[in-house]
């Protein structure tokens, strides 16, 4: 499968998964669980994910980056995945009661035990998914991810309706892990037993460095709910978690799916001896052209979006969502900061930078939480995004070799397109109805007008991403006679 077809399948997978997860979160938040209940589960999940960052042990990157792969190597990777699933499950289970005591939340322990059980099914999916990605069979990724999301939704909604509170989400996590493992094995079987423990040195060497890198990254990305839950209140962590989740869902909906295609695609470019700079600039152009207006628009429309989706009980999420959405927009200007250094063998330097980034992230988060609660925690994310750029920009410029002037030109054009996209909604707030008064129909009309202005700006500036966007939209445009005549597809 080519890169473009793989990207289409990855996007389809992400859109389908987003629809299922988003609808589930809206229904559960609006009708079944309050911020305290969501906050309790968020603390449990954040603690589990902090440990479970080791679940992959770098196997996906290791398998995708190998020039050649035989059955013996697959068996070794499957064995490593199995052993690490046992380690992760044991660590999470061991932490359950101490964390419950530390937070003074007795229900935290059984929640963590249930979530721990979901990681027993990891070996069924980790290696098959890596093999699918290596072969660019992202239609199989679609089946695995959507199947897992559907299982999660069915169990979560059913148990929430039955009144199981936060435990509905924990059991849904377990169901999703089982479903993904079963589907992955059906599509890309990989034998775990008998265990293959010979010749593990290359796998463990790569996985050890990758896991250290992932762990330091997780300390920065997974600790916000834990910090806010400890330093502020359970309600605050519920609001903060919902804002973070919604911003991440929208970001992934807009462009996150394509990221799974980039690593094997860049591996092919590397193996062919071609420069990575031009391809990287195309990625930057694509991300910023789409993610910037999308996330900035979410920040501007945060109040009516939260009110419409979750209701008045969750309105405290709105200002937090605006700041976290802007953070996501800033981070998209420098994508693949972990993937490309791993691919190019620069993991040692990446690990040092990652530790610096993590210390800055946690420090800003703790300071913001102590000074201004959940609002301060959200505000610290924007400062962290600027620090992230300062830490990684020179490093990425040096190893990838992209022209800095071209990168700045791309950002300038994406910034102009973003302002064009925001103009209709901003003018609506100014001249017609403010964020608290705007109706759903008026909001949708402003969004449609913003999309039209965004497209016009991309054409007017000849944005570098325009060609790629048109090519990806070609199958849809070809079915619309007016669009086929008016929009030239490169």
Please give the pLDDT value at position 224. 83
pLDDT digits (tens, 9 = 90+) for 323-362: 999 999 999 899 888 878 877 888 788 888 988 988 899 8
The mean pLDDT value of the chain amounts to 84
Ranked by mean pLDDT, the top range of 122-131, 253-262, 389-398 is 389-398
User: For residue 23, is pLDDT > 80?
Assistant: yes
Please give the pLDDT value at position 304. 94
| 55: confidence class by pLDDT, cuts 50, 70, 90 | low
Rounded to whole angstroms, how far apart are CA atoms 393 and 388?
8
Q: Which residue has the tokens 């210390």?
A: 359
State the DSSP H helix or E strand holding residue 473, giving kind and residue range, or none if neither. helix 466-477
Please give the pLDDT value at position 486. 44
User: For residue 96, is pLDDT > 80?
Assistant: yes
Please give the pLDDT value at position 265. 66
Average the pLDDT over 57-83 and give the result: 74
Residue 271, CA distances (Å) to 132, 214, 442 in order: 19, 25, 51
User: For residue 120, is pLDDT > 80?
Assistant: yes
Rounded to whole angstroms, how far apart are CA atoms 210 and 63?
13
Q: Residue 308 is encoded by which pair of tokens?
A: 């419409």
DSSP string, 415-432: HHHHHHHHHHHHHHHHHT
| 13: confidence class by pLDDT, cuts 50, 70, 90 | confident
Average the pLDDT over 375-385 and give the result: 93
Least confident of 57-61, 92-96, 468-472: 57-61
Residue 12, CA distances (Å) to 17, 125, 138, 150, 257 in order: 8, 20, 10, 15, 8
Least confident of 19-28, 63-72, 297-306: 63-72
Average the pLDDT over 44-60 and give the result: 73
3-state secondary structure of 80: helix
Length of the chain: 490
| 489: confidence class by pLDDT, cuts 50, 70, 90 | very low
The pLDDT > 70 percentage for the chain reads 84
Rounded to whole angstroms, how far apart are CA atoms 381 and 327?
6
Higher-confidence position of 389 and 205: 389
Q: Which residue has the tokens 């939480």?
A: 369
Q: Torsion angle of alpha carbons 447, 8, 133, 331, nearest 10°?
A: -30
Least confident of 4-8, 295-299, 442-446: 4-8
Domain boundaries, the chain: 1-221
Please give the pLDDT value at position 73. 77
| 286: confidence class by pLDDT, cuts 50, 70, 90 | confident
The upper half-sphere exposure of residue 102, i.e. CA atoms within 13 Å in the direction of its Cβ, equals: 14
Average the pLDDT over 224-228 and give the result: 83
Q: Torsion angle of alpha carbons 48, 53, 54, 55, nearest 10°?
A: 80
User: For residue 474, is pLDDT > 70?
Assistant: no
Average the pLDDT over 8-33 and give the result: 83
pLDDT digits (tens, 9 = 90+) for 135-162: 777 788 889 989 999 999 999 999 999 9
Rounded to whole angstroms, how far apart are CA atoms 45 and 244?
13
Can you give the pTM of this predicted structure?
A: 0.76
Rounded to whole angstroms, how far apart are CA atoms 230 and 216?
20
Higher-confidence position of 267 and 299: 299
């Amino acid at each position: 499968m080519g890169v473009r077809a793989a990207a289409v399948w990855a996007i389809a997978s992400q859109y389908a998964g987003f629809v299922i997860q988003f609808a589930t979160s809206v229904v559960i938040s609006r009708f079944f669980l309050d911020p305290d209940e969501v906050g309790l589960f968020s603390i449990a999940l954040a603690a589990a994910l902090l440990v479970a960052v080791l679940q992959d042990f770098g196997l996906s990157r290791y398998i995708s980056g190998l020039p050649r792969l035989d059955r013996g190597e697959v068996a070794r990777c499957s064995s490593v995945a199995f052993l690490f699933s046992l380690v992760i499950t044991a660590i999470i289970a061991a932490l359950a009661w101490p964390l419950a005591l530390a937070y003074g939340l007795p229900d935290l322990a059984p929640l963590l035990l249930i979530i721990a059980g979901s990681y027993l099914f990891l070996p069924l999916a980790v290696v098959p998914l890596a093999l699918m990605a290596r072969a660019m069979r992202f239609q199989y990724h679609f089946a695995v991810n959507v199947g897992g999301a559907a299982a999660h939704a069915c169990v979560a909604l059913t148990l929430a309706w039955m009144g199981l509170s936060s435990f509905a989400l924990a059991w849904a996590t377990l169901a999703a892990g089982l479903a993904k493992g079963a589907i992955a094995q059906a599509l890309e079987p990989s034998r775990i037993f008998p265990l293959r423990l010979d010749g593990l040195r290359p796998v463990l060497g790569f996985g050890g460095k990758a896991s250290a890198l992932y762990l330091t990254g997780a300390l920065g990305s997974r600790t916000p709910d834990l910090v806010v839950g400890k330093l502020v209140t359970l309600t605050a962590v519920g609001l903060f978690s919902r804002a973070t989740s919604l911003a991440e869902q929208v970001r992934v909906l807009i462009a996150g799916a394509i990221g799974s295609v980039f690593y094997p695609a860049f591996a092919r470019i590397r193996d062919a001896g071609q420069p990575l700079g031009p391809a990287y600039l195309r990625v930057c152009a694509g991300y910023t052209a789409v993610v910037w207006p999308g996330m900035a628009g979410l920040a501007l429309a945060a109040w009516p979006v939260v009110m419409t989706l979750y209701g008045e009980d969750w309105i405290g999420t709105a200002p937090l969502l605006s700041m976290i959405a802007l953070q996501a927009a800033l981070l998209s200007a420098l994508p693949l900061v972990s993937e490309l250094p791993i691919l190019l063998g620069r993991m040692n330097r990446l690990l040092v930078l990652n530790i610096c980034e993590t210390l800055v992230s946690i420090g800003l988060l703790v300071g913001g939480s102590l000074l201004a609660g959940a609002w301060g925690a959200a505000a610290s994310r924007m400062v962290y995004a600027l620090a992230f750029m300062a830490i990684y920009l020179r490093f990425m410029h040096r190893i990838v070799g992209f022209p800095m002037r071209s990168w700045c030109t791309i950002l300038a054009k994406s910034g102009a397109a973003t302002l064009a996209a925001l103009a209709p909604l901003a003018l609506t707030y100014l001249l017609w109805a403010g964020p608290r008064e705007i109706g759903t129909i008026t909001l949708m009309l402003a969004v449609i007008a913003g999309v039209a202005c965004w497209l016009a700006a991309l054409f007017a500036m000849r944005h570098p991403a325009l060609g790629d966007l048109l090519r990806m939209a070609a199958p849809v445009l070809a079915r619309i006679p007016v669009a086929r005549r008016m929009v030239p597809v490169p």
